Amino acid sequence: MIAAWSVEDVRAAEARAMEPLPDGELMDRAARGLAKVVTARLDDIEEPRVVALVGSGGNGGDALFAMARVARSDSDADVAAVLVSDRGAHKKALVAAREAGVAIVDLARSGADEAHDEALEKACALVAEADVLIDGITGIGGSPGWSGSSAQRCRALIDAVDDEAYVIAVDLPSGADPAGVVLDSEGVWADETVTFGVAKPVHLLGTSARCGVLTLVDIGLDMTTMPVAERLDHDDVAQLWPLPASDDDKYSRGVLGVVAGGENYTGAAVLTVTSAVCAGAGMVRYIGPPTPTALVRSAVPEAVCGIGRVQAWVVGPGLDADAESDPDADGEDVAQVTAATEALDSGLPCVVDAGGLDLLDGPRPRAGARTLLTPHAGELARLLTRLEEREVSLDDVRADPVGHARRAATLVHATVLLKGSTTYVVPPEITGMPVRAVAEAPAWLATAGAGDVLAGVAGVLLAAGLDPYDAGTLAATVHGLAGHDVNPGGPVRALDVAFATPAWSPG
């Protein structure tokens, strides 16, 4: 599990770690780790040119101390540092860098505008030549985007970076929100981020794509609080996935009931049931009108059609929840919605997706019934608009996905799995548990039916006894990994993702 702590908790842990140590030791550990990574990345480059962009705080300090080490290494590198702030740079680090032979370009506005513009132009030319760009402008002390007197300089310097250059962010990409809340701020997009001690939310939440590969340098922090965000790694997938025991039978492994796909969205029935069967359900029971039932019977012979005992439900993919109130609706459609409502009224664990969300007015009637909601952003906006009786737009949700998922989780007493390029699994506030973020999926997975497949996998995990928090995170992780494996770098169809799931549900 990769865990991330809030900036406040990281700062407190740094202060605790620093207390018994000699002055500067922690930064030295950070710089040593960073320099090691940078020199390793120079291995294949002939006479590499390394340029560091350096801000006035601790982040710039790390960068300068590391550049001093790189300049002294036997890497043959040509090392320069551009100081971007009017307030200069970390004094001791600057001395160390100068003494090691790092070329320093100071952009502090000290004279006439023309002189400054000329210096900036020269610095941009230097940056454009860099094989490796070290971004040490801001770290956890940065606010999202560029601001203050150095904003224009930062913008120009980052624009000048060559597309081929390898960009290493120090601690986090400058301009990104350290808290991972503001998602679209301008700033650096890194190929690799070298962070210190522990990950921060920026590395795991919706800002994670701009961090590139995450490399963690141990500086001896001891965290005493709960993380605020988590991400599963491959070991977690292997550990969490429920395995059948030798004395299990199909019932004890967990029977999943699926209420999905009416006469209109027949495919949702096939996709959800197929994915549940592929993910290793003990048994899948399908409940729906004649057309999707016939399709399920022919496409998924393992499934059993009709009502019976189950351990968990998937309610809603492709379900027409209005059928009950529509006088023209077919009796079979109405019966399916009745089955959906009965599932929601039961105390059994339930994945509630798509049309099923329209049947929720608040918490499920049986207190403590394990519930996983799986909306995409539009469905979450609609659900909140209804439950809170005020307009919540798609843009609102996109601007603060975790906050909105949290609101729904709290209102419905459920874990909310909010689907998207980063999928968030958000438990109710009262649990105090971290947000889980999943960003394994390729953008190709944004395809019709992929959500139905996800619901099927999550349902199987609930039926096997996992709680909604683990079931949701595990399902989204495996779904994303399978989405990649089906056709790396190219288009995927949802049914193939279902077929690829077994490879990721380990034994």
Ligand X SMILES: Nc1ncnc2c1ncn2[C@@H]1O[C@H](COP(=O)(O)OP(=O)(O)O)[C@@H](O)[C@H]1O
Segment near ligand NPW (CB under 6 A); pick from 69-77, 149-157, 334-342, 410-418: 149-157
Q: How many CB atoms lie within 10 A of CB 301?
A: 9
Nearest to 64 by CA among 74, 53, 75: 53
Helix (H, G, I), strand (E, B) or coil at 417: strand
Burial per residue of 343-358, b for 16 or more beta-carbon CB atoms within 10 angstroms, e otherwise: bbebebbbbbbbbbbb
Nearest to 132 by CA among 169, 180, 88: 169
Question: In angstroms, what is the minimal distance from the CB of 317 to ligand X?
Answer: 7
Q: Please tell me whether residue 170 binds ligand NPW under the rule CB under 6 A.
A: yes
Contact of residue 130 among ligand NPW, K ion, ligand X, none (CB under 5-8 Å per partner type): none
Give the separation between CA 294 and CA 309, rounded to whole angstroms. Answer: 21
421 annotated to a ligand binding site = yes
Give the separation between CA 468 and CA 350, rounded to whole angstroms. Answer: 9
- The residue from 141, 363, 420, 502 that contacts ligand X (CB under 6 A) is 420
The two most distant CA atoms of the chain are separated, in Å, by 84
187 annotated to a ligand binding site = no
Nearest to 276 by CA among 314, 318, 238, 240: 314
Question: In angstroms, what is the minimal distance from the CB of 406 to ligand X?
Answer: 18
Instruction: Tell me the β-bridge partners of 437.
Output: 424
Contact of residue 451 among K ion, ligand NPW, ligand X, none (CB under 5-8 Å per partner type): ligand X
Rank residues 150 and 423 by Cβ distance to ligand X and give the closer one.
423
Which regions of 43-117 does DSSP assign to beta strands (E)?
Answer: 49-54, 78-83, 103-106
Query: Do the beta carbons of residue 259 and residue 289 sit within 8 Å?
Result: no
Rank residues 432 and 490 by Cβ distance to ligand X and give the closer one.
490
Contact of residue 135 among ligand X, K ion, ligand NPW, none (CB under 5-8 Å per partner type): K ion
Segment near ligand X (CB under 6 A); pick from 40-48, 86-94, 341-349, 449-457: 449-457
Q: Please tell me whether residue 487 binds ligand X under the rule CB under 6 A.
A: no
Handedness of CA 332, 333, 337, 340 (dihedral sign): positive
- The residue from 356, 449, 456, 468 that contacts ligand X (CB under 6 A) is 449
- Residues in contact with ligand NPW, counted by CB under 6 A, come to a total of 31
Nearest to 66 by CA among 104, 98, 32, 41: 32
- Residues in contact with ligand X, counted by CB under 6 A, come to a total of 18
Q: Please tell me whether residue 245 binds ligand X under the rule CB under 6 A.
A: no
β-strand pairing of 229-231 with 2-4:
antiparallel
Residue with tokens 């020199």: 39
DSSP assignment of 427-446: --GGG-PPEEEE----GGG-
- The residue from 263, 358, 452, 470 that contacts ligand X (CB under 6 A) is 452
Tokens linked to 340: 């959906």
Nearest to 142 by CA among 106, 101, 182: 182
Q: How far is CA 360 from CA 211, 342, 347, 352, in A?
A: 38, 12, 14, 9
- Residues listed for the chain: 507
Binding string, 325-364, against ligand X, x = CB under 6 A? -----------------------------x----------
Rank residues 131 and 135 by Cβ distance to ligand NPW and give the closer one.
135
Give the separation between CA 456 and CA 471, rounded to whole angstroms. Answer: 11
- The residue from 4, 31, 130, 170 that contacts K ion (CB under 5 A) is 170
Rank residues 13 and 321 by Cβ distance to ligand NPW and give the closer one.
13
Q: Please tell me whether residue 59 binds ligand NPW under the rule CB under 6 A.
A: yes
Contact of residue 441 among ligand X, K ion, ligand NPW, none (CB under 5-8 Å per partner type): ligand X
Give the separation between CA 30 and CA 70, rounded to whole angstroms. Answer: 14
Question: In angstroms, what is the minimal distance from the CB of 22 to ligand NPW?
Answer: 12
Q: Please tell me whether residue 174 binds K ion under the rule CB under 5 A.
A: yes
Q: Please tell me whether residue 421 binds ligand X under the rule CB under 6 A.
A: yes
How far from each other are the two terminal CA atoms of the chain, in whole angstroms?
A: 19
423 annotated to a ligand binding site = yes
Segment near ligand NPW (CB under 6 A); pick from 142-150, 256-264, 459-467, 498-506: 142-150
456 annotated to a ligand binding site = no
Give the separation between CA 430 and CA 363, rounded to whole angstroms. Answer: 14
Tokens linked to 496: 């193939």
Q: Please tell me whether residue 195 binds K ion under the rule CB under 5 A.
A: no
318 annotated to a ligand binding site = yes
Angle at 147 between CA 127 and CA 395, to 5 degrees: 105
Helix (H, G, I), strand (E, B) or coil at 182: coil
250 annotated to a ligand binding site = no
- The residue from 454, 461, 463, 481 that contacts ligand X (CB under 6 A) is 454
Q: Please tell me whether residue 143 binds ligand NPW under the rule CB under 6 A.
A: yes
* Interface positions, 41-70, toward K ion (CB under 5 A): 59
* Interface positions, 117-146, toward K ion (CB under 5 A): 135
451 annotated to a ligand binding site = yes
408 annotated to a ligand binding site = no
Query: Do the beta carbons of residue 126 and residue 51 sit within 8 Å?
Result: yes
In the annotated binding site for AMP, the residues are 419-423, 451
Residues interacting with ligand NPW, by CB under 6 A? 14, 18, 26-27, 30, 55-60, 62, 85, 87, 138-143, 145-148, 150-151, 154, 170-171, 196, 219
Residues interacting with K ion, by CB under 5 A? 59, 135, 169-170, 174
Residues interacting with ligand X, by CB under 6 A? 354, 376, 419-421, 423, 441-443, 445-446, 448-452, 454, 479
In the annotated binding site for (6S)-NADPHX, the residues are 268, 318, 376, 452
In the annotated binding site, the residues are 268, 318, 376, 419-423, 451-452
